[in-house]
């Protein structure tokens, strides 16, 4: 295990994530003598990696799942680099799964130790995904949430509540190898890790380093079931039932549906006819912290 120094670390701060506290984060990092940059958009992020990919060994992203998703395209398949995360988003699903905390000093200390994990990625219609992708209710929420000027947990909860009353179930055909599933569904989740964010655990058995992903199918259910679903979601108690099905997938799958909105790590996208999901095993090196339970 190789140890690192301050000069090997670069913080990349997204000023638009979560509660937009980029100035405070930058001040703390600067006070510790660590290099950092603030990127306002994807173009600036691309430029940062083009100019710095060979100058640093550890890239710590300060942002949410969407920011992490943007960063992985530059670090994918780079076994000489590590990705770290300072959770500063609205949900921080992947950061929570890997045990990243909002403690910059502790994060830097862990970074210097050089301990890491190889983790899997997903390819969703040729878009990389590190945490969770989905079609249906969660993608509908993601699309509406990204239209809002205000981010954060309160804004997200408001978006979810409105979606409960306006979203309509959709028809889907799912092909996994020789198996075909045809259902009317509320949501299809493709999970590399267990949670959406804010400890909402949609797939309790998912691990980002087990070489599998989980397909979670949620059927439409009566309104009075919502409180039970939410309780089980936040306590990691969801399991196979009348309304839910969990399928472990080793390789790839294909989805055909009349609902064309999807998301990868909370970032809204769309497709025309089919959605393809594929497992990419051991493709990322993630910095391991003392809080990581994997």
Q: Which helix (H) or strand (E) holds 151?
A: none
Residue labelled with tokens 């306590």:
235
Q: What is the arithmetic mean of pLDDT over 96-102?
A: 96
pLDDT band at 146 (very low <50, low <70, confident <90, very high): confident
- Per-residue pLDDT at 286 exceeds 70: yes
Q: What is the arithmetic mean of pLDDT over 157-165?
A: 86
Domains along the sequence of the chain with CATH: 6-119 (3.40.50.10330), 127-281 (2.60.200.40)
Distance (Å, whole) CA 98 – CA 96: 5
Q: What is the arithmetic mean of pLDDT over 218-241?
A: 95
Give residue-wise pLDDT tens across range 203-226.
999 999 999 999 999 999 999 999
Mean pLDDT of the chain, nearest integer: 93
CA–CA distance from 101 to each of 62, 88, 106, 175, 204 (Å)? 11, 10, 8, 38, 21
pTM of the model: 0.93
Q: What is the arithmetic mean of pLDDT over 261-286?
A: 94
- If phi over 0 gives left and psi between -120 and 50 gives alpha, with beta otherwise, what is residue 274? beta
Give the angle 140-144-148 at the CA atoms, nearest 5°. 160
Predicted confidence at residue 152, as pLDDT, reads: 65
- Per-residue pLDDT at 193 exceeds 80: yes
Q: Are the C-beta atoms of 262 and 135 separated by less than 8 Å? A: yes
């Amino acid at each position: 295990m190789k140890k690192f120094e301050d000069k090997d670390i670069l913080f990349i701060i997204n000023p638009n994530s979560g509660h937009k506290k980029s100035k405070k984060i930058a001040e703390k990092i600067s006070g510790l003598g660590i290099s950092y940059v603030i990127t306002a958009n994807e173009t600036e992020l691309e430029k940062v990696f083009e100019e710095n990919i060979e100058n640093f060994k550890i890239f710590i992203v300060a942002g949410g799942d969407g920011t992490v998703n943007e960063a992985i395209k530059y670090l994918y398949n780079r076994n000489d680099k590590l990705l770290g995360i300072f959770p500063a988003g609205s949900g921080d699903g992947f950061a929570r799964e890997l045990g990243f905390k909002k403690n910059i000093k502790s994060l830097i200390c862990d970074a210097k130790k050089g301990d890491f994990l190889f983790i899997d990625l997903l390819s969703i219609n040729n878009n990389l995904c590190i945490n969770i992708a989905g079609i249906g209710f969660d993608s509908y929420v993601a699309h509406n949430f990204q239209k809002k000027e205000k981010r954060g947990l309160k804004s997200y909860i408001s978006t979810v509540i409105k979606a409960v009353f306006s979203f309509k179930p959709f028809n889907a055909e799912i092909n996994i190898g020789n198996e075909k599933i045809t259902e009317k569904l509320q949501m299809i989740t493709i999970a590399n890790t267990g949670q959406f964010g804010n400890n909402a655990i949609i797939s309790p058995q998912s691990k980002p380093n087990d070489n599998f992903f989980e397909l979670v199918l949620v059927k439409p259910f009566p309104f009075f079931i919502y409180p039970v679903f939410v309780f089980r979601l936040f306590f990691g108690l969801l399991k196979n039932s009348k309304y839910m099905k969990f399928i472990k997938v080793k390789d790839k799958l294909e989805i055909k549906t009349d609902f064309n909105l999807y998301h990868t790590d909370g970032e809204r996208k769309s497709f025309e006819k089919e959605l393809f999901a594929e497992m990419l095993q051991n493709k990322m090196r993630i910095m391991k912290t003392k809080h990581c339970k994997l």
